Amino acid sequence: MGKGGRHAYAALSLLAAGALVLTGCSSGGSKGSDNDKQDKENAQRQQAGISFGDAKDSTGPAAELPGAKPGGTITVLQRDSFAHLDPGQIYVSDEMALSQLIHRGLTAYKATSDDGKKHEVVGDLATDSGTTTDGGKTWKYTLKDGIKWADGSPITAKDVRQTFERLFAPFISNGPTYIQQWLANTPGTEYRKLLPDGPYKGKHLPDSVLETPDDKTILFKFKSAKPDLPYALAMAGYSVVSAAKDTKVKYDKSPMTSGPYKISEFKSGKTMTLVKNTNWDPKTDAVRHQYVDQFNIEFNKQFEDSTKAILDDSGANATAISFSNQVDAGNLTKVLADAALKNRTVSGYQPYVGQMNINLSQPEMQDKTVREAIAYALPITPFVRAFGGTDAMEVAGGLISPTVSGYDPKFDPFGKKAKPAGDPAKAKELLKKAGKTGLKLTFGYINTPEGQQYSTAMAAGLEKAGFDVQRQEIPAETYYDQVSKVKNNYDIFHTAWGADWPSASTVIPPLYDGRQIQDGSSNYSHINDPKVNADIDKANTITDPIKAAEAWNKINEYIVKDVVSNIPTAYYKQTQIAGSKIGGLAYDDVIGGVDPRRLFVK
């Protein structure tokens, strides 16, 4: 999933002048925290591998949490209103968090440790995570007994067929496209030709692609092996849609739900109320709980607002939380320094990995020595600082996130972990060797307060190595459109990318496959290396998740060390906080935030 301008860490305050009178002198910065170690342990558990669970693992109810009790109301403070409620349109993280409560899919991630850090893929509506007999070309799913929609009608294979067929209809434009492309066996947006109008004009996917022989059985049939299907089906975007209640475009505003909660009221941009769904049977669900009576979701709460409200901790604020907002950069140091407050926080990795792209289409960037000089010279510390320090960003060695299988913490070819401020001496030497001292380097940066801050310091670091850096601002709203144009003027620019599921198959092919370079594609650095392309094809066919992870990591190492087209900058982290009366608080690495399914009121 690409990373747009959705994260604004610091905001301007026009009340600054008042504070001058009210506050005395300041006390200086903090010495950092011990969160680092814990985060890394969590991530390592994560990347140790996610297994596919069997029927026993997939059987509900979910294990009771210690100390949990039913009842109570939780206030949820969110920054952005939910633009989409139709599962087929859900692809952003805050909507994904909501859909954990209201939608269900064929598979789901089950937290297998009590802190919610270790996972396996289990069957959600299906009895298991899927069975295949031919190495991943054909997958069979059987629906559980007793699964119902919120209106009491049963969920059948007909609904599942509808769910996938409607994804080909033109109005579904925001969700993930993996399974559609696999079913149609085409890259890009060609898949829509398979069923141009969706299921709405009487046409259906042929049995050679998707077969539903009876009310309980679903068969996916792919042309080539798709070992990642159980992961993909667990995405919120592939949650089931009711065939009887499919109102097409209108479904996005009032969907039929199947999870433990249903929407009782939604005022877009203001509030949303979730109440218990009485037709949800805990015995059919291995991953969700239904402790809280009601969720009151309030929108338009900036990070500072939600943090302030939760820190206040009185009245309704004591049972307040945010699914997606993090502690704002300004309050982060204060919160983590206070033991009582720190107890109410959870921290973890977000799925994003930041990287500096070197535009290989630019003639001057063809020289590998120059690219190595950039890699050595580029300071990462400005980036870490701009987002709030090591509690918000961790210096990266490779392009694979700690939350993804195959992550190797020791991989660091340019010594960024030891010298995060860059190695200008070595870079200078390399640049001299290439005979390019004083080379003009156009650096496109995103025009946000953070972007301005880190780009100036990064430019200063590159200039120490002998580059002539020309910074060019790019408006935040159109940043990704501009840098994803094949013909752009920038030599270097920064982007971030997050895995859709904990496998690098959702990272390496979209970013580094040279055959898909076109306007708008996510191959920002225009890398088109025959070895990388061939290795991607090979890795895509490996069915053993552990071996596949190794293969992906090899490609990652080759790109960073030998092609030097992308310089990893940082792994995104975040800290979230909850009111003192919230129980069951855990940071879920797969959701990339607080796990809303296990919350209760103490």
Partner 1 sequence: MTSPIDIEGGGTSVVVDGDQQPKSKPEEAKQLEGRSPGQLMWIRFKRDRTGVISAYVVIFFFVVGLAAPLIAKLYGKDPYTVFADERPELFDSAGVPLQPNGGISGEFWFGLEPGNGYDVFTKLLYGIRNSLMISLAVTVATVLTGIVLGVAAGYLGGKPDQLISRVIDFLLAFPSQLFFIASMPVVVSLFVSPRDETPVYVRVVALIAVQWVLGWMSLARILRGTTLALREREFIEAAKVSGASPVRIIRREILPNVVTPILVQSTYMLPNFVTAEAGLSFLGVGIVEPTPDWGQMFSKASTELVMQNDITYMFFPGISMIIFIVAFNLLGDSVRDAFDPKTAR
Question: By the criterion CB under 8 A, which residues form the site for partner 1?
Answer: 10-17, 19-20, 23-32, 304, 328-334, 379, 381-382, 384-386, 388-392, 421-422, 440, 442, 449, 452-453, 456-457, 460-461, 469-473, 489
**CA dist., res. 306 & res. 109, Å (int):** 28
In our burial notation (b when 16+ CB lie closer than 10 A, e otherwise), range 477-489 reads: eebbebbbeeebe
Nearer Cβ to partner 1 (241/570): 570
Nearer Cβ to partner 1 (24/520): 24
Minimum gap (Å) between residue 219 Cβ and partner 1: 52
Tell me the CA distances in angstroms from 571 to 117, 261, 317, 420, 595, one per residue in order.
18, 33, 31, 13, 20
Count the residues in the chain.
Answer: 602
Minimum gap (Å) between residue 372 Cβ and partner 1: 20
Residue by residue, DSSP assigns 425-452 as HHHHHHHHHTT-TT-EEEEEEE-SHHHH
Nearer Cβ to partner 1 (444/592): 444
Quick check: helix, strand or coil at residue 330? helix
Task: Tell me the backbone φ, ψ of residue 491, rounded to 5 degrees.
Answer: -85, -40
List the structure tokens of 348.
């973890």
Q: Are 576 and 332 in contact (CB under 8 A)?
A: no
Tell me the CA distances in angstroms from 287 to 53, 61, 104, 139, 260, one per residue in order.
12, 8, 10, 22, 11
Nearer Cβ to partner 1 (21/339): 21
The single-letter code of the amino acid at 64 is E
561: DSSP letter: I
Nearer Cβ to partner 1 (36/550): 36
Tell me the CA distances in angstroms from 426 to 365, 372, 462, one per residue in order.
18, 10, 12
Nearer Cβ to partner 1 (18/135): 18
Nearer Cβ to partner 1 (382/502): 382
Q: Residue 443: how many CA atoms within 13 Å on its side-chain side?
A: 26
Minimum gap (Å) between residue 569 Cβ and partner 1: 14
Quick check: helix, strand or coil at residue 306? helix
Minimum gap (Å) between residue 4 Cβ and partner 1: 20
User: Position of tokens 């939760």?
Assistant: 310
Minimum gap (Å) between residue 302 Cβ and partner 1: 10
Minimum gap (Å) between residue 541 Cβ and partner 1: 42
Element (H, E) at 78: none
Minimum gap (Å) between residue 348 Cβ and partner 1: 18
Nearer Cβ to partner 1 (39/529): 39
